[in-house]
Amino acid sequence: MRSRARAVLVVLVAPALLLLTVWAALEAGALAPDRPLGDVMWWQAAAVDDLQVLLVGTAVVGLAVGAVRLLTGHRSAPGKRELAGALTWTWAAGCAAYVVAVVVSGSGPWGPVVAGALAGVVGGLVGAVVVGRAPTSSLVAHGAVPSDAPRASLRVGESAMWSGWTRARWWVYAAELLVAGPGVANTVLLAPEYGLLVVLLVTSIGLYLVATTVRVSVGEAGLVVRSLPLGVPRVVVPLEHVARADVVHVSPIADFGSWGYVPTRLGAVVVTREGPALQVRRGDGSLLTLTVDDAHEAAALLNTLADRRRSRERVAA
């Protein structure tokens, strides 16, 4: 319970306090612009009140998003806390930095926007780290892997490693490129005032595609899921946590109402196409589902390795 309290503190309370502090500084005049803000922010006749509304709005939306991520989905979904911490800290740090930069620097809209973006990125990274990890003792699986789960024929003295991707069909990536190129070019040329919105939209779709194209491997380290391009964030299900691995048939919209990363009540899902998926059940019953090709090979190997690891532990004990 202590670690859950810490997560709530970091994810919800700390960002709220940051935004409240900036709001109070504006209210008390400690942060006071020395010239009209109209030519600094995008809209005319802006005032300190507008900045305060921005802070409150960010607090409400950002914290709501973080609270939803933290409090829904499966209790032990990996990366849940880190993601929630990153979300709320990105919003809070970005907004706070933007507001302070607008008031203090008195320069055009782009300086504070850049300051806000940088602060958001740094804040998000710090938030993900500071939130702390959820306890993992309940994830350990006990007993042998059930006999109806797929198995690989691995001889004594053999090691094996399986590697695959959660790739979407080629036309998904092609569609993004087709939309991105002309869409961005048209907007920048014909309606530059909307340029930022379109660029953000297209970039975030692209980033989401990248984020959901992950590298999956099965081996002595268990199931390892690594994101492009930096390899982090990554999710690991060590062999000790594997209760069983299976192949299930999934369909993005029909089963989950969404494409890509879906945090369900039972666990996280990365579904990039319809068809066979690798599904791993941990000791606490939580699931991790990934649409990889050759899922049966992956499941069979994971079960066999988990079994081996547990029988080694039984012998050692």
- x/- contact string, 172-211, with another protein (CB under 8 A)? ----------------------------------------
Confirm or reject binding of residue 89 to another protein (CB under 8 A).
no
- The kind and range of the H/E element at 274 are none
Number of residues lying near another protein (CB under 8 A): 23
Which residues, other chains included, contact 235 with Cβ-Cβ below 8 Å and sequence gap of 6+?
78, 79, 223, 224, 225, 268, 288
**Does 158 interact with another protein (rule: CB under 8 A)?**
yes
Among positions 122, 126, 160, 196, the unique one binding another protein when judged by CB under 8 A: 160
What is the closest distance, in whole angstroms, from the C-beta atom of residue 310 to another protein in the complex? Answer: 16
Q: Taking a C-beta distance cutoff of 8 angstroms, is the pair 289, 275 a contact?
A: no
Among 163, 251, 258, 311, binds another protein (CB under 8 A): 163
Q: Is residue 159 close enough to count as binding another protein by CB under 8 A?
A: yes
**Nearest distance from C-beta of residue 155 to another protein, angstroms:** 7
C-alpha Rg value of the chain to the nearest Å? 24
Regarding 136 and contact with another protein (CB under 8 A), the answer is no
CB-neighbour burial class of residue 265 (10 A; exposed 0-12, middle 13-18, buried 19+):
exposed
CA dist., res. 123 & res. 93, Å (int): 6
Of 217, 266, 275, 296, the one binding another protein (CB under 8 A) is 217
142 or 155, CB closer to another protein? 155
Q: Using CA atoms, how far apart are residues 179 and 117, in angstroms rounded to an integer?
A: 24
Nearer to another protein by Cβ, of 135 and 231: the residue is 231
Interaction pattern, residues 278-297, with another protein; x per rule: CB under 8 A: ----------------x--x
Q: Residue 310 is which amino acid?
A: R
Interaction of residue 161 with another protein, rule CB under 8 A:
yes
Specify the stretch interacting with another protein by CB under 8 A; choose among 33-41, 68-76, 105-113, 151-159.
151-159
Q: Are 80 and 51 in contact (CB under 8 A)?
A: no
Calpha distance 82→130 (Å, rounded): 8
Q: Taking a C-beta distance cutoff of 8 angstroms, is the pair 131, 81 a contact?
A: yes
Name the site residues for another protein (rule: CB under 8 A): 154-164, 215, 217-221, 224, 226, 231, 294, 297, 301
